[in-house]
Structure 1
Amino acid sequence: AVAAALMTLYDMAKSIDREMVISDIQLDTKTGGSRGNYVRSDGAAAPSE
């Protein structure tokens, strides 16, 4: 969903800068779902509450 939202943002902003780059989209943490919780193992910080 994040990538789709960023493609929409790119589409709206391409008239300003056609060479812009959107990168480094990754999942750091998630909760719930059928596979349970997930925390990225490469040392990414947990979200603060």
Structure 2
Amino acid sequence: MIWIEHDLEMVADLADRIHVLDYGRTLADGPPGSVLKDPRVIAAYIGASALTS
């Protein structure tokens, strides 16, 4: 199933695998625990400043 959603917490609770895109390019793909810790995903969805705080 392909599901487009911006609420990553909800997706992590429901999906076994996540494929994150940013402007049509793949940032990360894999299990939710790994994907949500990926610095590229954090920068895209939380903000780059969250990585330096």
Specify the structure having the higher radius of gyration (Cα).
1
Same fold (TM over 0.5): no
TM-score, normalised to structure 1, is 0.28
Greater share of strand? 2
Greater share of helix? 2
TM-score, normalised to structure 2, is 0.27
